Amino acid sequence: MNRHLILNIIGAIVCYSSLCYAQVKHTHTWTCMGTIAEINIPDSDEKSFTNYIAIAEKKMEELERLLSLFKPESDIYRLNSASGGDEINVSPVTLEILKLSVKYADISNGAFNPAVAPLVKLWGFSGGKLPVQLPSDSEIQTLLKLTNYKNITIATNTARLAAKGMSIDLGGIAKGYAVDICYRTLVKMGIKDLMVNIGGNIRCNGSPRRTNTLFDIGKKPAWSIGVRHPYDRNKIVGVLHLTDGYAVATSGNYEKYVTIGNERYCHIIDPQTGKPVRGMAGVTIIAPTAVEADAMSTALFVLGVERGTEVLKKLPDCHALFIPDHQPIKLLVTSGFMKYFTPLKEFTTLVEQLK
């Protein structure tokens, strides 16, 4: 065959394969849990993809119905309303996420605290009234007494909040948990290459590239996920390369905050002080499950670099990037994090490895 003919054939194959690629819909985006959710399954035909999406959306609706803070029929609403009273019958899913919340509260020495809800509300988040002035110390002290997560009792079919006025807020863990549910459901159906993303809580497997026997030579690439610059929403500081069921989550001070006077106060509360955390711009966690990444990003945002790295020793497969809240930024990473992370060239000199 002459060289020209070979090139033409290759050209035709490339065109055909990219045309096929363009015609198949691989990504679906919708609104769920008050944020944007996305599922990406590169290697599926349109009919199966539509089916996968319908199943995932249904699962997410069920979860929202159980965990909502605001719907009177939800397990969490009923549990919060009955604080100090009787135990409440709740679904196995609610029991599981409550147990996971308590597990990560224990691991993080209470920095992740699902019972911090009264203070989250006091500072104007999760349906609370926007504060026009700083909450007083006495208001904070009164509510701190209601945030002992050890007062959440979990039995075989029931849960109970022991003190009247206690309440649960799963905002720091529910999206990660939902990603895991979605991910596991789709993997069980035989999907190997996929990415599930709920509001930046992401879990992936395999590769973003379709299986294509002609071009499938060598190892397929991992999924690439940008880590946002905390002071510039249009910039990233680097890229994570994830596969093998790994998950990532970020907790930051830049998306949700209230302004009182001239100061900004972020939505993550330090359960020791009862006040929004200061000094941290963002914490990104890579972990084997999305629920762990979500809970631990919130926990390490509270704990800061020193106490955070100490706590991480309990979770050997969990890795962190801390970006303290000062300029110019520094990227403080645990050694395991660097296996997955490539900083952009302009940030390489700002990376410091933690012991």
Residues at the contact surface with Mg ion, assessed by CB under 5 A: 172, 294, 297-298
- Distance of closest approach, residue 128 Cβ to ligand ADP, in angstroms: 10
Shortest Å, Cβ 340 to ligand ADP: 20
Q: Which of 271, 274, 304, 343 binds ligand ADP (CB under 6 A)?
A: 271
305-344 residues near ligand ADP, rule: CB under 6 A: none
Work out what residue 274 binds among ligand ADP, Mg ion, none; the CB cut-off runs from 5 to 8 Å by kind: none
Q: Cβ closer to ligand ADP: 21 or 30?
A: 30
Q: Which is nearer to ligand ADP, 237 or 269 (CB)?
A: 269
Q: Which stretch binds ligand ADP (CB under 6 A): 88-96, 168-176, 204-212, 306-314?
A: 168-176
Shortest Å, Cβ 33 to Mg ion: 12
Cβ distance to ligand ADP smaller for residue 206 or 230: 230
Task: Compute the C-alpha angle 226/229/232, nearest 5°.
Answer: 125
Among 181, 225, 242, 269, binds ligand ADP (CB under 6 A): 269
Contact between 113 and ligand ADP per CB under 6 A: yes
The position carrying tokens 């020791």 is 272
Q: Is the dihedral of CA 92, 66, 289, 319 positive or negative?
A: negative
270 by DSSP, 3-state: which? strand
Partner interacting with residue 112 (select from Mg ion, ligand ADP, none; CB below 5-8 Å by kind): ligand ADP
What is the spatial distance between Cα 309 and Cα 1, in angstroms, rounded to a whole number?
Answer: 62
**Residue 210, both tokens:** 């379709």
The long-range contacts involving 121-128, CB below 8 angstroms and separated by at least 24 positions, are 121/167, 122/274, 123/258, 123/265, 123/267, 123/269, 123/275, 123/276, 124/258, 125/171, 125/256, 125/258, 125/267, 126/69, 126/169, 126/171, 127/69, 127/70
Q: Does 297 bind ligand ADP (CB under 6 A)?
A: yes
Name which of ligand ADP, Mg ion, none residue 63 binds, using a CB cut-off of 5 to 8 Å depending on partner kind.
none
**DSSP code, position 23:** H
**Is 174 within 8 Å of 298 (Cβ atoms)?**
no
Where residue 119 falls (left for φ over 0; alpha for ψ -120 to 50; beta otherwise) is alpha
Residues numbered 117 to 146 that lie near ligand ADP (CB under 6 A) are 120, 125-126
Element (H, E) at 21: helix 3-23
Site residue total, ligand ADP (CB under 6 A) = 22
Instruction: Please give the structure tokens belonging to residue 269.
Output: 């509360």
Which segment (20-28, 52-60, 240-248, 249-257) binds ligand ADP by CB under 6 A?
Answer: 249-257
CA angle 171, 67, 81 (to 5 degrees): 100
Candidates 118, 124, 171, 308: give the one binding ligand ADP (CB under 6 A): 171
Q: Which of 251, 249, 241, 227 is nearest to 302 (CA)?
A: 251
Return the range that interacts with ligand ADP (CB under 6 A); candidates 206-214, 226-234, 265-273, 345-353.
265-273
Two structure tokens written together for 110: 């209470």
- 266 binds ligand ADP, rule: CB under 6 A: no
Q: List interacting residues with ligand ADP (CB under 6 A).
A: 112-114, 116, 120, 125-126, 169, 171-172, 199, 251, 255-256, 267-269, 271, 294, 297-298, 302
